[in-house]
Amino acid sequence: MAEARRGDPRLTEQRNPRSTRIDQLTTQEIVDLVNAEDRMVAAAVGEEREQIARAIDLVVDSLRQGGRLFYVGAGTSGRLGVLDASEMPPTYRTDPELVQGVIAGGLDALVRAQEGAEDHPEDGAAAMDERHVGAKDFVLGIAASGTTPFVHGALERARELGARTGFLLCTYPSEQLMKTHDVVIAPLVGPEVITGSTRMKAGTATKIVLNTISTAAMVKTGKVYGNLMVDLQVTCQKLQDRGERILVETLGVSAEDASRLLGESGGHVKTAIVMQRLGLTAQEAAQRLDAVGGSIADVVGDLASKP
């Protein structure tokens, strides 16, 4: 991470010299300009690889202790946190309480901006109390500018309650921020194409970071076999089809047998794999998985050892 620089203004509020005449460009030129700026995002996130890895280890430690992951933000930052959290249950069969998104202004703010909701640190603190945040939890504050009062209020209260905390921002972090939190992630994507419109590069960087954190945490807590989504929750025809295809690939069975196994396992791909590989009932397979914390490789071996 680039060191915090005293006196530097927030990058998220600076004017981008490459887009000062964007209102005079052709449509194709605007597309090319935005695309050129977006190419900087992945590299900026890559510069924060060590901090992202640190955040993942903190999350995994919390989850293994029976704790939870909270994302806290306002506006775009809050919406991205809620989005990432909401995708965990269908993708990895997690309890909806395991990963939670907290947005200033509540759920109404997901679809309609709640002006001023981000300005109240006491509301952020109250959100932590309402969710009974404690010592086993990890709370990640998200604020592109690094200054959102709601987020700071939530993190301060979370720390008082014993939780470990992190901060994700897209400008230079202050020394105080670095000292306060267990991890600070600061991808410096630079000024936005439209000044202050942090739903653009900063939003994209935030999405990439959250994707990485939650995906890696799920991998390290046994939700993935090889690179297959074996802990998915079958809730629709698309996921039913994906589950059956995973069974066909990992077990070498027919599509008909895969469908039968998935039904017998209660729609749980991991259980179905263990049932077939070890000749167990669904209950026995589930017990074997529970005994090793859900890590399928610890029960049936690495994916490379498939029949």
Which member of 47, 87, 156, 264 is catalytic?
Answer: 87
Which member of 3, 29, 47, 118 is catalytic?
Answer: 118
Residue 47 annotated to the active site = no
Query: 41: how many CB neighbours lie within 10 A of its CB?
Result: 22
Q: How far apart are CA 27 and CA 207, in angstroms?
A: 26
Strand partners, 139: 70, 165
Query: 211: how many CB neighbours lie within 10 A of its CB?
Result: 14
Residue 29 annotated to the active site = no
Give the pair of three-digit tokens for residue 189.
Answer: 């994507």
Could you list the active site residues? 87, 118
